[in-house]
Amino acid sequence: MAILKIARMGHPILAQSAALVPNPAAPEILRLVDDMVETMFDAPGQGLAAPQVHVGLRVAVFITPPDAEGQRELVRLINPTWEKLGEAQDMAWEGCLSVPGLRGLVPRYTHIRYSGILPDGQRLEREVSGWHARVVQHEFDHLDGMLYPQRMRDLSDLIFESEMRHRTPPQGPATRPEESET
């Protein structure tokens, strides 16, 4: 496995739609997934999409928030998709490994369904809400050439991490700024 270089905001690969992976079981795709996981943990981050490591393919990895027993899961998806399940949204602070040092207040759908192919060839489909839904939307946005500042409603809510202490949390569900680096 290898630590890959992370593309930063402004690099053209981050503004392009990623291509479907024609063969999810190909050895180079499985190696990419492993390298992305290692890179995400090294960064450290909560998620990573292939365009963030200069690969224009629809591959994403992320860690789920803790479940009721405090367990987290590493999810690795190839050719993922998602859909909103309702119109409800909330606002929370997000960060991004491709936008280092900054945080932004971003609206996201609160309830979604996502699916994709796992590295072992099985199909995963889930309905999720809250922080899990936010992480998925953030990572999958990268696959469509979108960074979180493009989702923001007010760019005055794009701030340096070092200035977070001066901001009050948004109204609504609790945010986890310490877990929002994706």
My answer on whether omega of the bond before 119 falls inside 30° of 0, hence cis, is no
Separation CA 45–CA 31 (nearest Å): 19
Separation CA 6–CA 23 (nearest Å): 24
CB 36 within 8 Å of CB 63: no
N- to C-terminal Cα distance for the chain?
Answer: 20
83 assigned to active site:
no
Catalytic residue chosen out of the listed positions 125, 127, 139, 178: 139
In 3-state terms the chain splits into helix, strand, coil percentages (rounded to 5) of: 30, 30, 40
Separation CA 76–CA 176 (nearest Å): 22
Separation CA 74–CA 26 (nearest Å): 20
Q: What is the DSSP letter of 152?
A: -
| Residues that are catalytic | 139
